[in-house]
Amino acid sequence: MTPQALPLRQDPEFSRLLRPRGVAVVGASADLGRIGGQPVRLLTEYGYAGKVYPVNPKYTALAGLACYPDIAAVPQPCDVAIIAVAAKQVAATLRQCGEAGIAFAIVFTAGFREIGGEGIALEHDLAQAVAASGVRVVGPNCIGIMNVPERIYMGFGPGFHNPNLRCGPVAFVSQSGGFAFSVVGLVDAQGIGFRYIVSGGNEADLTTLDFIEHFLDRDDVEVVVSYMEGIADGARLRAIGRRALDKRKPILIWKAGNSGIGRTAATSHTASMTADYSLYRAAFREGGFIEVRDSDDLADCIRAFTGRKLPRGNRIAVITTSGGSGVLMADHCDQEGLSLPEFQPGTLDQLRAIMPAFSTFANPADFTAQLSGNHELFNQGLRIVLDDPSFDQVIIRYGAVQGGNSHLWAQGIAELCATTDKPLLIAWSRPPELSARSLAILAEHRIPWCLTPVRTAHAAGVLHRFADKLATLRPAKIERPLEPVPLAWPAAAATLSEYRARDYLAAYGIPVAKEILLPPDALSSATALDLRFPVAVKVESPDIPHKTEAGAVRLAVADLAAMRAAAQAVVASARAFKPDARIEGVLVAEMQQGLETIVGALCDPYFGPVVLFGVGGITTELLKEVSYRFAPFDLQTAKEMIEENRLAPLFKGYRGRAPLDVDALAGVLSRLSWLIADHAAHIGEIDLNPVFVRVAGEGACVADALIVTRAA
């Protein structure tokens, strides 16, 4: 399925969840420190303007509020029920919510899928209650939801006990509750606030993707953040990535559970299904996602994007008053794919006219420490550089930011920024607590800063990459190179060896080596073949998918006599390797020349059909230099896939060699993507290995193929 074809789920009225008129706390405790007591306290003490309805038959009043014996007794309107009852009572409680007309439930209770066994059955009951009642559920096993500016703290745990959290245009959806709030605390300490924070728990009903999608659509959210361990619907993740680009709104994604170890832990933690990280990365690369690695990185990216300016290209100017930071920023800009062109002559003339004698006006430029006391001059120089059309963005480090006039400097920067559409990022380089006044000015004007030169260069790189995605965004709809071809598939799962696989490939216009299947009884008598020598001679058997390992291949066989001998030999090797193998004959194929590549395709259970590409044989496999794209895709995407491989220079006439037929290779990739997309229900995996790519104009050719089908 292509991303645009995905039906987006019917949107629950999330605004009722995020801004409820009333909240029932079912299982409310009179001990306000307990899980059932904390939300009562948070909702009554921190400023929530709606109604709070504790529900517990044991009390008539609680924390100064009337307490209700059951959900039916709760006054309306009540949009959310927080549920903190025993796991076994949760399903029944949800049904009662449905009867009472409460649209949403936030289930704190643990002991469901994450503990296995009995918990799985309980979660199944819960899902049935959701379906029957129509109540939409966050959790179970979640720690709650926070609407920060309106102080609607519907949760528990230390992360919620801060009535002074900063507010900002950022939504955070997390698959780990406790961890998310510790990140919120660290990011808040850096001066950055959130608007909504959601802990999704086991996601028995509403999922991380539901929330991300909703936040993309909300006007009060400019940046969406997600901590993600694993999701079940990769195609929807892709659709959301596309939507983010269409809306020009970044999703900052912190993906964990990527190592073998981490994934095991992730599975046992939220019991999420988790696809291979490489497919997540393919989805992130394709859509409006920016991967973040730690809370500092998250803070920097939020600040960069809430600056609301994007660069038009990758050209950056670096200005400092200390050479060391310039060197560092240049190093890291280079790593980020940014270029540092020279200043234009007019810029140089203007700078030389005003700057100290020992300044250097290379890029990075060093205005020298002599400007320490002279913030007007620094900003005058910065103005000149901002006006230079050679640059798409500018990053600066000014050594004197903690001086007494730091706020005047910041005010000057704010005035400069008001008159440019280029991003300006500041490497602050001083403990923020020593310069609160200037940082407040920057915050007010949304001028991004990062603590260190390294982090600033990274933030500039992030802005560039997102802007580049927007600039190169193509229509979601892609052209088919051919109409869907009906194909007959085995009813049961099977392994189609080379000779049988070739028909499927040929049907989609994928060029295969010219070859002939000699039946077993024709081996010794074979005469003139309509093939060009030398040839490759290989056993054909559905039971030997990897012929080389069985010793059942002979290459560069020079003539007919040698071919006959080779045919006998490969059959003998195959028999020795696997005595009961069904031998359907010997395949004789014209030898192919060109650069050896690997092309593969598979149907991932979470992401669907995907195509992969690599250069060379074992080397590629060991170095994992492989690119992925989701199927289907067109020639241009196929070319990008080839281009992003670090071995791509081999296709362009490397070291005096002739350029290779990239168009033909791209054709193989794109057509394979349509083959697997059109027949995804039948295909498990396809291996085209090797595919030889000849010099430009002479095409590409599959020299061996294997298709693993599955039961429809």
380-439 binders of a copy of itself (CB under 8 A): 399-400, 402-403, 429-431, 433
Q: Is 299 helix (H, G, I), strand (E, B) or coil?
A: helix
Site residues for a copy of itself, 626-665, by CB under 8 A, read 646-647, 649-650, 654-656
Nearest-angstrom CA–CA distance, 167 and 190: 12
- In this structure, the strands spanning 289-291 and 251-255 are parallel
Distances (CA, A) of 529 to 293, 559, 570, 704: 60, 10, 18, 20
Residue placing its CB nearer to a copy of itself in the complex, 259 or 472? 259
- Token output for 504: 């499927």
Considering the complex, state which of residue 75 and residue 324 has its C-beta at the smaller distance from a copy of itself: 324
Nearest distance from C-beta of residue 238 to a copy of itself, angstroms: 23
Enumerate residues 6+ apart whose C-beta is below 8 A from 493.
684, 708, 709, 710, 711
User: Is there binding between residue 455 and a copy of itself (CB under 8 A)?
Assistant: yes
Least distance from a copy of itself to the Cβ atom of residue 597, Å: 12
**Binding residues for a copy of itself restricted to 545-564, rule: CB under 8 A:** 549
- To 10 degrees, what angle do helices 118-133 and 90-100 make? 10
Q: Whole-number minimum distance, CB 456 to a copy of itself, in Å?
A: 11
What residues does 291 pair with on adjacent strands? Answer: 253
Question: Cα–Cα distances in Å, from 348 out to 94, 106, 333, 353, 422?
Answer: 70, 61, 22, 8, 20
Residue 186 as a binder of a copy of itself (CB under 8 A): the answer is yes
Examine residue 37 and tell whether it contacts a copy of itself (CB under 8 A): no
Maximal C-alpha separation, the chain? 100
**Minimum distance from residue 483 beta carbon to a copy of itself (Å):** 39
Which of 50, 101, 111, 509 is close enough to bind a copy of itself by CB under 8 A?
111
Cβ distance 488 to 502 under 8 Å?
no
Residue 189 CB, shortest distance to a copy of itself, in Å, is: 4
At residue 284, the 3 state secondary structure works out as helix
Question: CB 214 → a copy of itself: shortest distance, Å?
Answer: 22
Residue whose entry in the numeric block shows the structure tokens 């014996």:
69
Angle formed at CA 691 by CA 685 and CA 695, multiple of 5 degrees: 155
Which residue do the tokens 């008159």 mark? 419
CB of 154 to a copy of itself, least distance (A): 17
Instruction: State which of positions 340-369 bind a copy of itself (CB under 8 A).
Output: 340, 358, 360, 362, 364, 366, 369
CA 1 → CA 193, 280, 489, distances in Å?
A: 38, 17, 20
Q: How far is the CB of 278 from a copy of itself (least distance, A)?
A: 14
Considering beta carbons, is residue 157 or 509 the nearer one to a copy of itself?
Answer: 157
In angstroms, give the least distance from the CB of 259 to a copy of itself.
4
Among 12, 22, 185, 684, binds a copy of itself (CB under 8 A): 185
- Edge to edge, what strands does the sheet with 136-138 contain? 51-55, 22-26, 80-83, 104-107, 136-138
Write down how long the chain is: 712
327 binds a copy of itself (CB under 8 A): yes
Angle at CA 658, nearest 5°, toward 653 and 662?
A: 70
Quote the CA–CA distance of 224 and 297 in Å, as a whole number.
14
Identify the residue whose tokens are 């903690």: 402
Stretch that binds a copy of itself, among 12-20, 50-58, 445-453, 510-518 (CB under 8 A): 445-453
User: Count residues contacting a copy of itself (CB under 8 A)?
Assistant: 87
Q: Pick from 40, 97, 333, 460 the residue near a copy of itself by CB under 8 A.
A: 333
638 forms beta bridges with none
Q: What is the spatial distance between Cα 205 and Cα 220, in angstroms, rounded to a whole number?
A: 25
SS3 (DSSP) at 691: strand
Least distance (Å) from a copy of itself to the CB of residue 151? 20
Closest contact distance (angstroms) between CB of 40 and a copy of itself is 18
By the rule CB under 8 A, 619 interacts with a copy of itself: yes
Contact code string over 304-323 relative to a copy of itself, x by CB under 8 A = -----------------xxx
* Smallest separation (angstroms) from a copy of itself to the CB of 8: 28
Please give the sequence-ordered ranges of beta strands (E in DSSP) within 313-443, or none if there are none.
316-320, 365-366, 393-397, 424-427
Q: Say whether residue 36 binds a copy of itself (CB under 8 A).
A: no
- Comparing C-alpha atoms, which of 59, 60, 64, 76 is closest to residue 23? 76
- Nearer to a copy of itself among residue 132 and residue 189 (C-beta): 189
- Least Å distance, CB 111 to a copy of itself, is 7
Binding mask 487-526 for a copy of itself (x = CB under 8 A): ----------------------------------------
* Nearer Cβ to a copy of itself (203/678): 203
Q: What are the structure tokens assigned to 48, written together?
A: 């929530």
Q: How far is the CB of 234 from a copy of itself (least distance, A)?
A: 19
Interface positions, 666-705, toward a copy of itself (CB under 8 A):
none
Provide, rounded to whole angstroms, the least separation between the CB of residue 157 and a copy of itself: 6
Q: Which stretch binds a copy of itself (CB under 8 A): 73-81, 88-96, 331-339, 579-587?
A: 331-339
The stretch near a copy of itself (CB under 8 A) out of 510-518, 564-572, 615-623, 664-672 is 615-623
Shortest spacing between CB 258 and a copy of itself, in angstroms = 5
Cβ within 8 Å of residue 71, ≥6 positions away: 24, 26, 55, 81, 93, 96, 97, 99, 100, 102
- Whose structure tokens read 């539901």? 210
Taking CB under 8 A as the criterion, the residue among 5, 72, 623, 681 binding a copy of itself is: 623
User: What whole-number distance in Å separates Cα of residue 326 and Cα of residue 360?
Assistant: 11
Residues 233-292 that bind a copy of itself (CB under 8 A): 256-262, 264-266, 268-270
Quote the strand ranges of 417-482, DSSP E. Answer: 424-427, 449-450
Is the Cβ–Cβ distance between 28 and 70 less than 8 Å?
Answer: no
Residues of span 127-156 touching a copy of itself by CB under 8 A: 143
Print the binding letters for residues 206-235 with a copy of itself: x by CB under 8 A, - otherwise. Answer: ---------------------x-x------
| Near a copy of itself by CB under 8 A: residue from 246, 276, 296, 604 | 296
77 lies in the site for a copy of itself, by CB under 8 A:
no
Is the link from the previous residue into 140 a cis peptide, with omega within 30 of 0? Answer: yes
Q: Phi then psi for 61, rounded to 5 degrees?
A: -145, 155
Nearer to a copy of itself, 159 or 667 (CB): 159
Q: Which is nearer to a copy of itself, 468 or 625 (CB)?
A: 625
Residue selected from 178, 337, 346, 519 as contacting a copy of itself according to rule CB under 8 A = 178
Q: Scan for tokens 């071919």, then name that residue.
A: 563
Q: Are 697 and 661 in contact (CB under 8 A)?
A: yes
